[in-house]
Amino acid sequence: MKPPSSDWQNYHQRLMKKLQGYRVLTDLTVLTALDSIPRHIFVPELPLEQAFSDSAQPISDQQTISQPSLVAWMTQLLELSGSERVLEIGTGSGYQTALLSRLVKEVWSIERIQGLSARAAKVLQQLNCQNVHLRVGDGYLGWPEAAPFDRVILTAAPPQIPKALEQQLSEAGLFIAPVGNQNETQHLLRGKKQNKTLVYQQLAEVQFVPMLAD
């Protein structure tokens, strides 16, 4: 029997089961945190089947909510212990922000589209994410007044890693970013500081919306 449309829990459980089956997603703390974040509240206009599918989905303003397995993997790659202050560029729906909020001390998240940021703020409040600071602005500038950050994560792809953001990363920091032009293959990069220099490792081919300059 098909569940009634208000019964999102079945869809949520099915998605969580799928993610638990991915061998690359080894961090149970990340998966447990994700289990407390039902994705449909970020995309209330979508049918539940789409809201809980493991794929990027459209939100407003030609933007997307990221793919759950990729959100989980990128979060896992941040190697969080709970004490971190994290800078996120591209709040979007707030889905990645909410997951970070459950796993770190503070999240500082920048979004260039006012309407998206306002909507994310409401959902984050609904989920009781109290350690999140949102700003509407140009992510290329980062958040210098709140720097340094232990982690920086981009959820939109710039053509190159912005220097200003590298400068806002702390000494033992980690940087995760999709990088590349829209019509070319983008790569997910992870940067670690080695003797004060950020050294990047290329991890996977990905497809993100562009990180736009204002």
Catalytic residue among 6, 55, 66, 170: 66
Number of residues that bind ligand SAH (CB under 6 A): 23
Is residue 6 part of the annotated active site? The answer reads: no
Q: Near ligand SAH by CB under 6 A, which window of 7-15, 87-95, 124-132, 181-189? A: 87-95
Compute the least distance from the CB of residue 112 to ligand SAH, in Å.
Answer: 4
Rule CB under 6 A: is residue 206 a binding residue for ligand SAH?
Answer: no
SS3 category, 12: helix
**CB contact set of 16 (below 8 Å; sequence gap of 6+):** 31, 34, 35
Tell which residue, 98, 79, 69, has the closest CA to residue 204.
69
User: How many Å apart are CA 86 and CA 108, to the nearest integer?
Assistant: 6
Q: Token digits for 167?
A: 């400068």
Q: Site mask, ligand SAH, residues 31-70, x = CB under 6 A?
A: --------------------------------xxxx----
Q: How many CB atoms lie within 10 A of CB 10?
A: 13
On whether the CB atoms of residues 165 and 176 are closer than 8 A, the answer is: no
Restricted to residues 118-157, the positions that interact with ligand SAH (CB under 6 A) are 138-140, 155-156
Preceding amide of 148 cis, omega within 30: yes
Compute the least distance from the CB of residue 5 to ligand SAH, in Å.
Answer: 23
Compute the least distance from the CB of residue 147 to ligand SAH, in Å.
Answer: 16
Compute the least distance from the CB of residue 116 to ligand SAH, in Å.
Answer: 5
On whether the CB atoms of residues 154 and 90 are closer than 8 A, the answer is: yes
Interface contacts to ligand SAH, rule CB under 6 A? 63-66, 89-90, 92-93, 95-96, 110-113, 116, 138-140, 155-156, 209, 211-212
